[in-house]
Amino acid sequence: MEGRKLQLTGGSTFVVSLPKRWVTDAGLKAGDTVFLEPQVDGAVQIRARPMERPLARRRVFEEKGAERRDHLLRKLIGAYIAGFGYIEIRFKPEAGPFVRRVARDFSRMVIGPEVIEETRNSVVIQDLSDTAELSPEKCLRRMHLTVRAMHEDALAALRSRDDTLARDVAQRDQDVDRLYWMVAKQYNLAHTAGAAPRNAGEKTELHNYRLIAKLFERIGDHAERIARTYPVFAEHGLEPRLLKELDAARDSAIAILDKAFFALLTADIDSANEAVDDLDRHQKLIDGLSHHVASKKGEELLALAAIVDSLARSANYATDIAEIAIDYAVSKGAETP
């Protein structure tokens, strides 16, 4: 490593000389422009030429026969998460209506992809999203607000016997899935050969974001699961005492989630530990609910058991976020000399 002194010119501009050998090897001369790129760790990269944006990767699927909608859809989502910017589906003309319908469904389900080209036997989908505009952290913030609102509204729908609200909770789960797939895609793009170089700390952060996004996605699934019990209680509703206990368990799970996510954003180890410790108190609420629910029968028993299980699992997933927050905060802390 070679050290060079900064020089002050004109009273406000700092100048540093570049190694002559590097300038010569890069084919530069006096008056040429070099390109500086600040890094997240405080370093600065110097390039002789602007970094070219890598070409979008292409994935081609050959649909040779009749295929279930879900099977093709899963392949398209897999290609999206893997970071393929172009996805082409080739098919026999008679399969055209089916493939085009699935391609449009896929484009509505994820963030960015649009059908840009259609022929008699092929469809091309291009990912138009800009990951710089929707960073992993922004995705997580939106996921956090969405899943906590879903849990609040899921029980509110059962209390008020509001079928529209229950359906809305289920539909919002698709928004959570979209955000999770976006985070997963950004993680995979960062680890793809030819991707812009990232330091180890940034890759670790992306890894944590992907894990947390998956936990949010599961918490959203459980809110949807609660909302889908609506038909069982649509006619007679839930008894007030049971609703009060469910509300307490829901509020407890959300409080753990809020505390865990705050700890992640602020690297607050104490808040993360509090979130994990709160799980014992939450479990007591779950145990009380389980005892109460055990006296029910038939469909009501099954539906209530699903609600209680979802409230328990959501809190557990929230403490997983808190534990990741602790690990990350410890790794970011200053080392003791």
Distance, first Cα to last Cα, the chain: 24
Q: Could you tell me the two tokens for 63? A: 């649909």
Task: Report the topology of domain 136-332.
Answer: Methane Monooxygenase Hydroxylase; Chain G, domain 1 (1.20.58)
Tens-binned pLDDT, residue by residue, of the chain (337 aa): 677 888 877 777 888 888 888 888 888 888 888 888 775 556 777 887 776 555 678 999 998 766 788 899 999 999 999 989 999 999 998 888 899 999 999 999 999 999 999 998 999 999 988 766 788 999 999 999 999 999 999 999 999 999 999 999 999 999 999 999 999 999 988 877 555 545 556 777 889 999 999 999 999 999 999 999 999 988 888 888 999 999 999 999 999 999 999 999 999 999 999 999 999 999 999 999 999 899 889 999 999 999 999 999 999 999 999 999 999 899 876 444 4
- Quote the tokens at residue 230: 């609506």
Query: Residue 201 has what pLDDT?
Result: 60
The pLDDT, as a whole number, for residue 336 is 40
pLDDT at 335: 44
> CA dist 300 to 161, 231, 234, 235, 294, Å?
15, 10, 11, 12, 10
**Nearest to 48, CA basis, from 34, 64, 65, 62:** 34
The pLDDT of residue 48 is: 79
Strands 86-91 and 122-127: antiparallel
Matching residue, tokens 């998956």: 214
Q: Helices marked H in the chain — which ranges?
A: 20-25, 69-81, 96-109, 136-160, 163-190, 200-227, 230-233, 240-266, 269-293, 298-332
- What local confidence, expressed as pLDDT, does residue 245 receive? 95
The reported pLDDT for the residue numbered 234 is 86
pTM score above 0.85: no
Tell me, what's the pLDDT at 123?
Answer: 95
DSSP string, 105-144: HHHHHSSSEEEEEEETTEEEEEE---TTTS-HHHHHHHHH
Which residues are CB-contacts of 145 (< 8 A; sequence separation ≥ 6)? Answer: none
User: What integer pLDDT is reported at residue 20 of this predicted model?
Assistant: 85
Residue 140's pLDDT is 96
What's the confidence (pLDDT) of residue 133? Answer: 74
Instruction: Determine the topology of domain 58-127 in CATH.
Output: Translation Initiation Factor IF3 (3.30.110)
In this prediction, residue 26 carries a pLDDT of: 83
- Please answer whether residues 111 and 134 qualify as being in contact, where contact means their C-beta atoms are separated by less than 8 angstroms: yes
